Amino acid sequence: MSTTENQPSNELAFFYHPSMYTASTFGPTGNQQYATSFAQAFVNVSAPNAITCFAQTEPMFHEFAELIKPYARQETKCSWIRLQEYAKLSSVGALFNPSPAIAKLAWQRRHLGNRAYSLIGVAHSLPHHLVQDALAELVIGPLEPWDALVCPWESTKKAAIRELAAYGSYLKERFDIPGDIKLGAQLPVIHPFVRIPEKNDELAGKELRETLKVEDSDILVLSAGRFSPLTKANPLPMLLALQRSATETGTPTHLALAGWFESEAVKNQYLQSAKEIAPLVAVHVLNGQDAKTMNAAWAAADIYTELNDNTQESFGLSILEAMAHALPVVLSDWGFHREIVEQGKNGLLVPTTGPLPGLTDDFALLSSLSLLDHQNHVGLASQFIATSVSDCAQAYSSLAKDKNKRLELGQNAKATVSAKFGGNLIVAQHQYLLGELAKIRKSTEVEFAPLTQSTTAYPTRLDTAVMFAEFATNTLTPSSLLSLDDTAEAAIASLAAIEPLAFAATAKPVLLPLEELKKLLTLIEEKNTCAISDVTIKFNSDQGRALLLSILWLSKMGLISIKVPALVASK
């Protein structure tokens, strides 16, 4: 794969920032893993001639290129569009941003026209206050039917719609708007995907069991991924249920925590809790970000479990990974889990009970007042999602006592992810979405937020020259008169001294090149005094903005004077 600048593909550009992607094959967060694996799968399955990276710096561009390089064809070109060159996205067709924050990108696009390209975001981490603000911006931002916020699950879509509807209802009442407020962007549901191994590494699994001193007749329960009691799952119901199961069955039970902890303190809290309330369960901590260790863990385990109780959880990648490795899963019946598992067929779901609406409203208020940070907000709320410990223990016991049932559920689990969550299928759904958005963008006459003469492209980011129009004594106009304060030779010498100074450097990227500035000074001297309109005809039309800014800058540096022409009294 080769890397080039400014040679975009004709289909999809990826918005890249290191905070949104990861070089790790497992973690550190689900949204980072989702974004990375999708980019890799898209370039692999679609096999485009070119793929485009929309990034701020060249090092970021090369980071993205390295992430997708192992999955791209040798002849695939990876090209770079700088953020300030966003107009070039119109030659690509669509921009993928692995975040719900696409409204600001829509405001940016509006300078080019809403039909310049499509925007595709991803709904995740919905309880975060910044994400909720981003969702609200979808209601008032210039999103169009050729834009989409992809929801990984139906439950994600329903949650997002509830906030969008609540905010829309407020706006309708506040401004006495007749009829319903319509959302411009689409909300398609496209699931995450998982790479499906042909078979497990049974030898590595056997070696790991021997290392952990897990006998063939013992039960090894695996839980993987990011371990956070505040933003993933409170471990107490799992530990209590495993202790009950071990007591009931009399089977030596092991729990492998294969992942990473938020801190060493959190890790110690997990281990101490297990020691206190689940003494019959042998707990093992494995490095979940090591590919060899994870391959062994998937093969070694008898059961996989996650009792998520948190609204922060968005993708369920570790669950899909476990099912792809033919493990029977025991999950909390929570959110999107029931979109993956059919009870008793490809896994077991443990009932949960949540609070009556309004019962935890104070938590949201405390968060809005910054008295609770995001982690503690969702962590506090999750304390009141009751996962049935007795039902969970029964689920663990039923699988511990029945190897055939474990095998049956595991094979059915793998069949499920093969049929519904394979990379080829999910990329094909994204390709179909891209095609549909392109058709709508090019054909439909409907436009929710057209830019007219009476509106500004980005009303909350006004040009300072517009917002503070009356601050300056005068405004530069085509009839403004220009003259040198000294000779052109002296002005050019002063320019050479001023131009390298730090206090002058800020303006350089938007000024005429140095030689063109010298040309401008010479032209003004030749005319003695001239109007701006007399100067502009000597420069190319695409230099107009830089020319006018350069005139103001040269005046600020004391090299030219700008005067308002005298008014001629009418007779």
Task: Kindly tell me if the per-residue pLDDT of 296 is higher than 90.
Answer: yes
pLDDT of residue 2: 67
Q: Report the SS3 class of residue 92.
A: coil
Query: Comparing 356 with 49, which gets the higher pLDDT?
Result: 356
- Provide the b/e sequence for 43-82 (b: ≥16 CB within 10 Å): bbbbebebbbbbbeeeebbebbbebbbebbeeebbbbbbb
Query: Mean of the pLDDT values across residues 361-374?
Result: 90
CA dist., res. 335 & res. 316, Å (int) = 10
Query: Mean of the pLDDT values across residues 17-24?
Result: 89
Residue (of 410, 414, 392) closest to 402 by Cα position: 410
Q: Which pairs count as long-range contacts for 407-410, CB under 8 Å and 24+ apart, including other chains? A: 408/328, 409/328, 409/329, 409/345, 409/346, 409/347, 409/348, 410/326, 410/327, 410/328
Residue (of 130, 107, 120) closest to 15 by Cα position: 120
- Give CA angle at 230 (102, 247), nearest 5°: 135
Number of residues written out for the chain: 571
Judge whether 144 and 448 are in contact, CB under 8 Å: yes
CA dist., res. 125 & res. 128, Å (int) = 6
Q: Give the residue carrying structure tokens 């390295």.
A: 66
Query: Comparing 47 with 1, which gets the higher pLDDT?
Result: 47
Task: Kindly tell me if the per-residue pLDDT of 195 is higher than 70.
Answer: yes
pLDDT of residue 7: 46
pLDDT of residue 115: 95
Average pLDDT across the chain, whole number: 93
CA dist., res. 393 & res. 396, Å (int) = 5
User: Percent of the chain scored above 90 by pLDDT?
Assistant: 85
Task: Kindly tell me if the per-residue pLDDT of 356 is higher than 50.
Answer: yes
Query: Mean of the pLDDT values across residues 257-281?
Result: 96
What's this model's pTM, rounded to 2 decimal places? 0.90
Q: 9: pLDDT confidence band, cut at 50, 70 and 90?
A: very low
Q: 571: pLDDT confidence band, cut at 50, 70 and 90?
A: very low
pLDDT of residue 28: 75
Highest-scoring range by mean pLDDT, 196-200, 331-335, 469-473: 331-335
CA dist., res. 388 & res. 526, Å (int) = 88
Residue (of 279, 289, 220) closest to 255 by Cα position: 220
Cβ neighbours of residue 488 closer than 8 Å, sequence gap 6 or more: 521, 522, 524, 525
Q: 48: pLDDT confidence band, cut at 50, 70 and 90?
A: confident
pLDDT of residue 544: 93
Task: Kindly tell me if the per-residue pLDDT of 60 is higher than 50.
Answer: yes
Q: 566: pLDDT confidence band, cut at 50, 70 and 90?
A: low
Cβ neighbours of residue 405 closer than 8 Å, sequence gap 6 or more: 328, 398, 399
Q: What's the N-to-C CA distance of the chain in angstroms?
A: 74
pLDDT of residue 8: 42
Q: 192: pLDDT confidence band, cut at 50, 70 and 90?
A: very high
Chain segment 437-451, per-residue pLDDT in tens: 999 999 878 888 888
Residue (of 70, 77, 71, 111) closest to 8 by Cα position: 77
